[in-house]
Structure 1
Amino acid sequence: MLYITILMQLHLSAAMDWSVSYSPTTICAIEGHSVDFSCSFDYPNTRTLKISKWFKPETHQKPDGSQQGIFVYHSSAEEINKRYQNRTVYANQNKNCSLKLHNVSESDIGRYFFRLETSRGGKFTGSVGINLNVAVLPFRVTVNTENVNGHIHEGDSVTLTCSTENCTPKQEPLAWFKNQILLPHTTESELRFSSVSYEDFGNYSCGLKNSNRTSTNKTLLDVKYSPKNVEITISPSGEIQEGDSSTLICKSNANPVVKNYTWFRISGTNISYVGCSREYSIRVVSQKDDGQYFCTAKNDIGYQNSTVIALKVKVPGRQHFVLAAVSALLFGIAVTLVLFCLFKRRKQLATEKKPTEQTMSQQ
């Protein structure tokens, strides 16, 4: 019994001397990039390392490392599968079995194992292995919302996710773009809006930071919102002469687009309805059109009123009458001054003449 116990302890001690550790055990690499398989191993000091190799079980083999498939790396270079020749760099250091694999592609997806063979027939394969997945470009953006009907309204919670086919590498910093403009300080795979705004409406894309490899297709964040920034422009601008034509245009931002416009005119304390299209045109402006105007823009979400704008109408006849009256007044004043000067001059001459006549009479 004591002999069996000692034998079991020796066997257990020997087993503990054999080990292979992988870190991490799952990797998502970007298509065309390089990937590192971090690995370390150990074996009894009484043995001598003869062969080191990395292998990948083939599709018809068990993916648990119990069956050796194609050799990705081998101490004997001629054993390396042609698909992996000149694509691997082995650490080749004492008990460091790390491997770098260059230019990964979708065909490299699978589980990789390290195996060592020593003197005296010692063989050991690290279980579990490293599962390699490859992110196939381009990147794409998906929109997720809790709204049941899928429509996004202002105030909703929205998450944009940047991903690729098969997997999304978390170790790589990402860049986000809105309408092809870089969004600063956003490097995660998710872009979250706790309360989305109409200002967030736009086309989004993503890609690797410091790289031009972004998603080829832009994804629209279609935020539905009621009319915003409703305003009126008048053409032509400024004061309008009576008899001219004038057009008032109601402008707004809205999604969906505004379907209903309504025009109102304010005259004193009265507000009257005057039109129901985006443009309110007056072919021949008259004095009755003088006043203040505002419009209301409405879509399926809501409505908004514009600010009030004044339409000033000049009446040419009154202006001419005033000018004529002023001219007549000035002319009258001028004539009066002339007559006054003439009268005063005649009076002065008459005064000078009388003393002369008196002097002659005395002689």
Structure 2
Amino acid sequence: MGRWILIILGLIPGVWSGSWDVTYQNQCALKGTSVNLKCKYDYPYGHFLTWTDWSKVSDGGSLIPLTDLPSPPNHFTYTGNNRGDCSLRVNNVQSSDQGAYYFRFSTTLGSWRSNKHALLSVKELTAVVQPYTAREGDTVMLTCRSGCPEPTHIVWFKERQRVWSSVFQARREDAGSYYCAILGQETVRSASVALSVHCEYMRDRN
């Protein structure tokens, strides 16, 4: 009965193909967040998995196993399984994590590494205050740019105090330093930018 199940599974689209294969999805992550490098793999029937390994391409072009990189414990976590899923989780992403990654594996009857790679891009939040010099009553707009295509829930702070509107009419007390962060992950934040607010010019007396 088990043999017939294997044959049927081999005929269903999307189920293991029984051939050597590794496929990836490129990812973009903000510095300080965590990201999953999604990866799928397969190997011929009759093989048994014996070894898996992720490596990163160095600046010199060589492959360095992640276990040999100077990184904190559990910075890289393999979340895959024995067949089908070979995903890698990168925790507390840093600028040094940007680059190309390869997955390799061996079975009792062979080994495989794809010629393609998973590319991880690392970006940072950037706060923009427009205009950065305003007069009382001017409209001020706060914009936070992530550099990654995925939408994020952004919150604003002025000198660590929550700002509830990203568009407001400038007052003298609004002058100060502003930064944006990810809601629920406030440690993932931009550098601060300053807003200057000047009093209205005195009108000429008649």
Task: Tell whether the structures are fold-level matches, with TM greater than 0.5.
Answer: yes
- The alignment covers a number of residue pairs equal to 185
Q: CA deviation at 1:90?
A: 1.5
How far apart, in 2, do the equivalents of 1:130 and 1:151 lie? 40
One of 56, 70, 83 as aligned partner of 2:70: 83
One of 205, 212, 216 as aligned partner of 2:179: 205
In the superposition, relative to structure 1, how do residues 174 and 126 fare at CA in structure 2: closer, same or farther (>3 Å)?
A: farther
TM-score normalised per structure 2 = 0.65
Q: CA deviation at 1:95?
A: 1.9
In the superposition, relative to structure 1, how do residues 117 and 126 fare at CA in structure 2: closer, same or farther (>3 Å)?
A: farther
How far apart, in 1, do the equivalents of 2:169 and 2:121 lie? 40
Q: CA deviation at 1:202?
A: 4.4
Q: CA deviation at 1:43?
A: 1.9
How far apart, in 2, do the equivalents of 1:180 and 1:124 lie? 48
Residues 39, 98 of structure 1: 8 Å contact kept = yes
- In structure 2, the residue matched to 1:47 is 47
Q: CA deviation at 1:259?
A: 3.5
The 5-angstrom pairing of residues 261-276 of structure 1 reads 261-262=204-205
How far apart, in 1, do the equivalents of 2:22 and 2:196 lie? 48
- In structure 1, the residue matched to 2:65 is 71
2:96 is paired with a residue whose SS is: helix
Residues 179, 202 of structure 1: 8 Å contact kept = no
Q: CA deviation at 1:142?
A: 1.9
Amino acid at match of 2:180: C
How far apart, in 2, do the equivalents of 1:181 and 1:133 lie? 27
1:115-147 CA-to-partner distances (Å, cap 9, x unmatched) read: 223343342326141324153xxx5522357xx
Amino acid at match of 2:142: L
How far apart, in 1, do the equivalents of 2:150 and 2:175 lie? 25
Q: CA deviation at 1:28?
A: 1.4
How far apart, in 2, do the equivalents of 1:48 and 1:217 lie? 53
The answer to whether residue 52 in structure 2 is matched with residue 57 in structure 1 is no
Q: CA deviation at 1:83?
A: 1.9
1:20 is paired with a residue whose SS is: strand
Segments of structure 1 that go 5 or more residues without pairing to the other structure are 1-14, 62-66, 73-79, 223-254, 263-272, 274-363
Residues 135, 199 of structure 2: 8 Å contact kept = no
Higher RCO (Cα < 8 Å, 6 or more apart): 2
Residues 136, 200 of structure 2: 8 Å contact kept = no
In the superposition, relative to structure 1, how do residues 221 and 258 fare at CA in structure 2: closer, same or farther (>3 Å)?
A: closer
1:133 is paired with a residue whose SS is: strand
2:73 is paired with a residue whose SS is: coil
- In structure 1, the residue matched to 2:29 is 28
Q: CA deviation at 1:170?
A: 4.2
Segments of structure 2 that go 5 or more residues without pairing to the other structure are 1-16
How far apart, in 2, do the equivalents of 1:155 and 1:259 lie? 14
Residues 28, 122 of structure 2: 8 Å contact kept = yes
Q: CA deviation at 1:171?
A: 5.2
One of 177, 198, 204 as aligned partner of 2:157: 177
1:167-220 CA-to-partner distances (Å, cap 9, x unmatched) read: 568454221135754244x7xxxx5x5xx7456964433223245545563421
In the superposition, relative to structure 1, how do residues 52 and 198 fare at CA in structure 2: closer, same or farther (>3 Å)?
A: same
1:107 is paired with a residue whose SS is: helix
- In structure 2, the residue matched to 1:110 is 99
1:51 is paired with a residue whose SS is: strand
Q: CA deviation at 1:109?
A: 1.9
- In structure 2, the residue matched to 1:257 is 200
Amino acid at match of 1:71: P
In the superposition, relative to structure 1, how do residues 121 and 18 fare at CA in structure 2: closer, same or farther (>3 Å)?
A: closer
The 5-angstrom pairing of residues 91-130 of structure 1 reads 91-93=79-81, 94-125=83-114, 127-130=116-119
How far apart, in 2, do the equivalents of 1:198 and 1:128 lie? 49
Residues 35, 91 of structure 2: 8 Å contact kept = yes
1:88-125 CA-to-partner distances (Å, cap 9, x unmatched) read: 32124132111222343222221212122334334232
Structure possessing the higher radius of gyration over alpha carbons: 1
The answer to whether residue 143 in structure 2 is matched with residue 161 in structure 1 is yes
How far apart, in 1, do the equivalents of 2:79 and 2:184 lie? 29
Residues 104, 134 of structure 1: 8 Å contact kept = no
Higher helix share goes to which structure? 1
Cα root mean square deviation, aligned = 3.9
Amino acid at match of 2:20: W
Q: Percent identity?
A: 23
One of 111, 121, 141 as aligned partner of 2:127: 141
